[in-house]
Structure 1
Amino acid sequence: MKRLLLLALFIFSTATFTFGQQQPPFIENNLDAYIKQGLKDWNLPGLAIAIVKDGKTVVMKGYGLADIKTQTPVDENTLFMIASNSKLFTGTALAQLDVDKKLSLDDKITKYFPGYTLYDANTTALVTIKDLLGHHLGTKTFQGDFTFWNTTLSRQQIMDKMKLLKPSMEFRQGFGYCNSCFLTAGQVIEQVTGKPWETYVQDSILTPLGMSNTYPLTLGIAGRKGISEPYTNAFTGTMTELPYDQVDNLAPAGSIVSNVKDVAKWLTMQLDSGKFEGKQIIQWKALQKTRDQNTILSSRASSTYPTHFRGYGLGVFESDYNGKQIFWHTGGANGFVTNTCFVPEENLAITILTNNDNQSFFEALRYQILDAYLGVKFTDRSQAMLKEFNKEQAETVKKTNNMRARVKGKQPELPLTAYAGQYQNTLYGNIEISVDKKDLLIKFNQHKFLTATLQYMDNNEWLLTYNNAAFGIFPLKFKIQNNKVISTETKVNDGLEYDPYLFVKQN
């Protein structure tokens, strides 16, 4: 553990601060030290940052390590999954097609997919492109994502399964963050242009902006030159390297791979009304459509930040911040958390890309930079967030260790063979539980590489440990009646999906 902390302290950059004019004192004098301390405090292997101000990239720098094993440093070219920061690319592409009269954002989805069906017939008949981009279905945040994320399902199969997502809120009356919604909206692009989402985004946005080291899909990510390794230290506190997510089946919701050098170009265009290096890339009217408030999230003042309202456009959050309007989004994939933010009134933009998914420093740093530029009295945002984070992390690690200590070779209520067999969940499909020496092994049939070990603890509780550390470690119980196994529930990391899945044993 000490070795990992020492590695997190290692700082490297091939880029420098390039101030063309005076920046706030925190940015000029304290930013570098603040980030170095943040890497140490949050056990963060690597981070890349870019700040755009008044049309110039005034900060572009890498810190720490992209790969702990090889000691490869992060620089401005290091690639990260930007995950849900991909959503604004999808919203922008659809808004541009609206401006070009190729579609209307108010078009019903059934216009393009006549067989598309949701849980509620009235919602099916009414849902529009704009509804999908505003997360209006009434489903819970992340609902269905365990079934969809990293699985072998095709895009069409995901769309077909959306009819099984039972809403918990009224249509258009609540906000439930929905990745399959963005997939469905993105699929309209191919219906209109003849190009799949990834080709259209490449041709209409990435190439014109000169984002030459940005990739719309995760396909081949492990072989990309300069790709960062993904890490987590959730559940155990030990830094663990993760496999790369494969989420091209949800591409319009979160598959883009990029670096701060390229993301800075995207943000520069956002600040210049759709222009980059004098050329109009996206029409201003299209950008306006992405920023129009599509969903009201909150109209109450925050006790922590100088903000009073919060909303969502077409793939971007928006709020006031000390009297200025800001736009931002975050992105989370297994092993990566990232953000983008722009403040047109201040001609300011920020992007921060990181390679440990179990930390909030990437957000604390964004707020600290906003405070510096927008005249907010200094509060150490990192230390304020860190106190609560450390408390929660300690409780999680303690819970994990306590469960592991309960694995003492005791025998379950029934023979191991009684638990083995096929189990089914209506949304997910099948899992297979088999005997593995003294334990049980779960194979998740929709996930190509995902398995989980079940070790018996006591009181009919088993320790569920996924082979992919990002999915988590949880207690599991089987429902037993008349000496027969009826069902079980599996849980995954809340960052993937909140609710457990009930799997019923098949005879």
Structure 2
Amino acid sequence: MRRNSKRRGLSVAAGLALVAGAVAAAPSPSPSPSPGDFDVQAALDQLDAQVQDGMKRTGVPGVAVAVVHDDKVVYQKGFGVRDTNSPDKKVSPDTVFQLASVSKPVATTVVAQAVGADGFDDPLKGVILKDPWVSSHVTAADLLSHRSGLPDHSGDLLEDLGYDQAYILSRLRFEPLTPFRTSYAYTNFGFTAAAEAVAKAKGVPWDKLSDDLLYKPAGMTHTSSRFSDYEKTADRALTHVKTADGTWKPLYVRDADAQTAAGGVSSNAKDMARWLRLQMGGGKIDGKQVINGEGLAETHVPHSISHPPAEPNAQPGFYGLGWNVRYDENGRLRLSHSGAFALGANTNVTLVPSDNLGIVVLTNGAPSGLPDTIALNFFDVAEHGKPTRDWLPIVAKSYEEQLNQGGSDTDYTKPPANAKPARADSEYTGAYTNPFYGRATVTTGQDGGLVLHLGPEPQNYPLTHYDGNTFSFQTAGENAVGRTGVFFTDGGMRVEYLDENGLGTFQRQQ
């Protein structure tokens, strides 16, 4: 099973398999107790202190946690503040957070009810990829387990540039494909394409399908797949990033409607506790069968290999349908998913179905590893009486590595000493076209210098001369990678950070 490992950095709503990856990378602890031997009370007794210590170490402003055991909500609590500019706005179990990629297992719960266990393997209508044979055979299971062959994080940069869902999904047909069903690459918009195809077949929009099949019947009254619902909620946690002076501020607003099934759900700890009960109850809650049990079970089993074993005796990591799937030393199934917005959210859900034990951690800070650490510590204490290692630096390093990948090898802030001069501005200005990224223009700015305009609105990027016909600009948005190069030729230009899959060349219009 081949995996596309090249990444631009922490993508929109990145569902990083940090729990599975960190476990695989770390030395194994002593053997775990048998299923049923978790000391849940010990883990609950330490949970307050674990959360507070993690918040102190990271500075993350707000956290909400819920724990479900044996179909009961045994812990539900909020910590910190919703908005650092308003210290009186405290986090509670009712506070609504953006889930980022924890939206994925929520979405596959909806799909399980919509199609049942067998429907995951039916070819989808309306999903068009580069290979016609793949287009005619691709299933919901292929796209929801990231084995369609689409490149890593396909379409995310289009969203950064301001394109809507319809445009982005229509452009997946240009993406080069790796071998179908034998390669893994995490794709928010491949995942979204599956959900939208299922909703279209049911004759309703995805957000309504989610309401009708899951949120309303499960009593998840503060959960939505519409950004507008999150935005109008008074008791909501704003997204925060860490500033240069070390403080956390709500500087950005993240509207994820374009990839709503993959990263656009908002919810609170109370509703997520009900969802955990449903997950471990075979689709049933409060005596009512809400989700098809066989369909839900299908989401919990491996469908692709996401992390090949690093050494002969190591455990591989799997991806199910919206879930990271692994098995511990006793063969006990563990399901998890992380969510991350670089613009200010980080979440985690982890559960062990055999022990009817699950935890969800929601935070309103850019990815720091805190929610993953709280979950890892909780299960460590339940199994071993204490954390088996200091998880925070391990998980934080994983996030940092994701954030720092994908940038340019060239330091555009330091032009070469013998840099060649640029041509006259008129040699570069004008309109350019690209079948994937659409129209671009280069103009002369009011204060002189060139400005690159990208996207439908468009977005404006001042260009800085580097050498000869090479310029650079500072990238922005969820997938920013620092400064990137723009290389002009007689017939067009190539934008470096848009060119990962060979799609970043624009032709100049005459």
Query: TM class by shorter-chain length?
Result: 0.7 to 0.9
**Residue aligned with 1:452, SS:** strand
1:361 counterpart residue number: 370
Matched, 1:503 2:506: yes
Moved more, 415-424 or 70-79: 415-424
List per-residue Cα deviations over 1:357-405 (Å, max 9, x = no partner). 2422222222222222233762111144456878998x99xx99x8668
CA distance in 2 between counterparts of 1:356 and 1:94 reads: 29
CA distance in 1 between counterparts of 2:400 and 2:192 reads: 35
CA distance in 1 between counterparts of 2:502 and 2:293 reads: 40
2:101 counterpart residue number: 84
1:325 counterpart residue number: 333
**Residue aligned with 1:142, SS:** coil
Q: What is the CA-CA distance between 1:137 and the residue it aligns to?
A: 1.8
**Residue aligned with 2:183, SS:** coil
Q: Is the 8 A contact 2:109 2:214 kept in 1?
A: no
**Residue aligned with 1:431, SS:** strand
1:8 counterpart residue number: none
Q: What is the CA-CA distance between 1:449 and the residue it aligns to?
A: 6.9
Q: Is the 8 A contact 2:308 2:316 kept in 1?
A: yes
Q: What is the CA-CA distance between 1:119 and the residue it aligns to?
A: 0.7
1:65 counterpart residue number: 81
Counterpart pick for 1:108 among 123, 126, 143: 123
CA distance in 2 between counterparts of 1:500 and 1:231 reads: 32
2:30 counterpart residue number: none
CA distance in 2 between counterparts of 1:233 and 1:413 reads: 37
Aligned amino acid, residue 97 of structure 1: A
2:422 counterpart residue number: 413
Moved more, 310-319 or 236-245: 236-245
Q: Is the 8 A contact 1:452 1:467 kept in 2?
A: no
Counterpart pick for 1:287 among 296, 303, 307: 296
Change over 3 Å in CA distance of 1:22–1:320 after alignment to 2: closer
Moved more, 413-422 or 283-292: 413-422
Counterpart pick for 2:388 among 358, 371, 378: 378
Moved more, 235-244 or 287-296: 235-244
CA distance in 1 between counterparts of 2:503 and 2:197 reads: 31
Alignment root-mean-square deviation, CA: 3.7
Moved more, 361-370 or 431-440: 431-440
Change over 3 Å in CA distance of 1:449–1:485 after alignment to 2: closer
2:432 counterpart residue number: 423
Counterpart pick for 2:51 among 35, 56, 64: 35
Aligned amino acid, residue 504 of structure 2: Y
CA distance in 1 between counterparts of 2:171 and 2:396 reads: 39
TM-score normalised by L of structure 1: 0.80
2:323 counterpart residue number: 316
CA distance in 2 between counterparts of 1:120 and 1:456 reads: 39
Moved more, 348-357 or 86-95: 86-95
1:189 counterpart residue number: 198
Equivalence map 1:177-326=2 (5 Å): 177-219=186-228, 221-233=230-242, 239=248, 241-298=250-307, 300=309, 308-323=315-330, 324-326=332-334
CA distance in 1 between counterparts of 2:471 and 2:246 reads: 21
Q: What is the CA-CA distance between 1:98 and the residue it aligns to?
A: 3.0
2:131 counterpart residue number: 120
Q: Is the 8 A contact 2:161 2:459 kept in 1?
A: no
List per-residue Cα deviations over 1:126-182 (Å, max 9, x = no partner). 212222222222122202221145733343x33322211111x21111011122222
CA distance in 1 between counterparts of 2:218 and 2:308 reads: 35
Moved more, 329-338 or 144-153: 144-153
Equivalence map 1:395-474=2 (5 Å): 413-436=422-445, 437-446=447-456, 448=457, 450-456=459-465, 462-466=471-475, 468=477, 471-474=480-483
CA distance in 2 between counterparts of 1:34 and 1:193 reads: 44
Q: Is the 8 A contact 2:421 2:467 kept in 1?
A: yes
Aligned amino acid, residue 79 of structure 2: Y
Q: What is the CA-CA distance between 1:268 and the residue it aligns to?
A: 1.3
The share of aligned pairs that are identical, in percent, is 25
Change over 3 Å in CA distance of 1:297–1:154 after alignment to 2: closer
Matched, 1:134 2:141: no
Q: Is the 8 A contact 2:147 2:181 kept in 1?
A: yes
CA distance in 1 between counterparts of 2:237 and 2:502 reads: 30
CA distance in 2 between counterparts of 1:226 and 1:504 reads: 48
Change over 3 Å in CA distance of 1:242–1:443 after alignment to 2: farther
Change over 3 Å in CA distance of 1:200–1:32 after alignment to 2: same
Q: Which runs of 5+ in 2 are unaligned?
A: 1-37
Q: Is the 8 A contact 1:232 1:469 kept in 2?
A: no
List per-residue Cα deviations over 1:235-260 (Å, max 9, x = no partner). 99775534323332322222111111
CA distance in 2 between counterparts of 1:34 and 1:411 reads: 57
CA distance in 1 between counterparts of 2:443 and 2:244 reads: 25
Change over 3 Å in CA distance of 1:294–1:45 after alignment to 2: same
Moved more, 276-285 or 227-236: 227-236
Moved more, 340-349 or 435-444: 435-444
Change over 3 Å in CA distance of 1:467–1:134 after alignment to 2: closer
Aligned amino acid, residue 264 of structure 1: A
1:489 counterpart residue number: 495
Aligned amino acid, residue 109 of structure 1: L
CA distance in 2 between counterparts of 1:171 and 1:51 reads: 38
| Larger RCO, structures 1/2 (Cα 8 Å, 6+ apart) | 2
**Residue aligned with 2:322, SS:** coil
CA distance in 2 between counterparts of 1:236 and 1:475 reads: 25
Q: What is the CA-CA distance between 1:356 and the residue it aligns to?
A: 2.4
Aligned amino acid, residue 56 of structure 1: K
Change over 3 Å in CA distance of 1:191–1:222 after alignment to 2: closer
**Residue aligned with 1:365, SS:** helix
CA distance in 1 between counterparts of 2:329 and 2:487 reads: 52
1:5 counterpart residue number: none
CA distance in 1 between counterparts of 2:377 and 2:43 reads: 9
Counterpart pick for 1:163 among 162, 173, 176: 173
TM-score normalised by L of structure 2: 0.79
Change over 3 Å in CA distance of 1:264–1:194 after alignment to 2: same
Aligned amino acid, residue 261 of structure 2: P
Q: Which runs of 5+ in 1 are unaligned?
A: 1-20
Q: What is the CA-CA distance between 1:311 and the residue it aligns to?
A: 1.6
Q: What is the CA-CA distance between 1:292 and the residue it aligns to?
A: 2.7
